[in-house]
Chains A and B, each alone.
Chain A
Amino acid sequence: DIQMTQSPSTLSASVGDRVTITCRASQSISTWVAWYQQKPGKAPKLLIYQASRLESGVPSRFSGSGSGTEFTLTISSLQPDDFSTYYCQQYNSYSRAFGQGTKVQI
């Protein structure tokens, strides 16, 4: 099965900062990666799909890039509402493994 390794596990940042989260796949998965945001006690929300496509309604400060085995999620200017946990997920195969998550905190 394809494994997703996400880093860092925790990230301390301030409002206005540029933030980058990385995800590495255990084998090439083309651009079949999605990124989700989760707030405490809530279900995750889709932000990015196919590595770089922004889900409808998601602010443009979120962007994704990468292909093959290396992927990144970037928040260009961190806003107060962005302090959350972020997960990458591969969907190259039926076993849609998630990364371990990155908590973005103040």
Chain B
Amino acid sequence: EVLLLESGGDLVQPGGSLRLSCAASRFTFSDYAFNWVRQAPGKGLEWVSAIDNSGFNTFYADSVKGRFTISRDNSKYTLFLQMNSLRAEDTAVYYCTRVSLVTSNFDYWGPGTLVTVSS
């Protein structure tokens, strides 16, 4: 069974930085594109960022463009999200999602990691 496990969520002050990781296993990581999706407490889902299987092409929501950077290490089966200049509105559970090769949708999700931005 495919496994995705996020880590790195924490309490951070406004203006601070955090790096999230998503460790993948039980499939060939380099074959797949990935996305980060977040969900603020009691709110809906928000797409954050995407990266293709090579890591050469990346995409961002306007709300995080210029502050967040998505990357991957295919040799370590790990996806990253570097978050800088954090704001209170970035407080959310962050999910790592895999893009299906068949349907082009998010077929597997991690359990999420909580990022809290507060002073």
Binding site for B on A (CB under 8 A): 1, 34, 36, 38, 42-46, 49-50, 53, 55, 87, 89, 91, 94-101
B46 at the interface (CB under 8 A from A): yes
Least CB distance, A86 to chain B, in whole angstroms = 11
Once the chains bind, are A44 and B109 in contact (CB under 8 Å)? yes
Question: Which of A43, A53, A55 lies in contact with B95, CB distance below 8 A?
Answer: A43
B86 at the interface (CB under 8 A from A): no
Contacts of A95 in B (CB 8 A): 47, 59, 61
| Residue contacts A-B, CB under 8 angstroms, 17 given | A34-B103, A36-B45, A43-B109, A43-B110, A46-B107, A49-B103, A50-B103, A87-B45, A89-B45, A89-B47, A91-B105, A94-B50, A95-B47, A95-B61, A96-B35, A96-B47, A98-B45
- Chain B, 65-119, CB within 8 A of any chain A CB: 95, 103-107, 109-112
Count the B residues whose beta carbon is within 8 Å of the partner chain — how many?
A: 20
Once the chains bind, are B45 and A101 in contact (CB under 8 Å)? yes
Once the chains bind, are B44 and A1 in contact (CB under 8 Å)? no
In order of increasing CB-CB distance, the 4 nearest A-B pairs are A43-B109, A94-B59, A101-B44, A49-B103
Least CB distance, B40 to chain A, in whole angstroms = 12
Once the chains bind, are A44 and B45 in contact (CB under 8 Å)? yes
Given contacts A38-B45, A87-B44, A95-B61, 11 further A-B contacts (CB under 8 A): A1-B62, A43-B95, A43-B111, A46-B103, A46-B107, A55-B107, A89-B105, A91-B104, A97-B47, A98-B47, A99-B44
Question: Which of A46, A97, A99, A100 lies in contact with B106, CB distance below 8 A?
Answer: A46
Once the chains bind, are B105 and A46 in contact (CB under 8 Å)? yes
Once the chains bind, are B46 and A98 in contact (CB under 8 Å)? yes
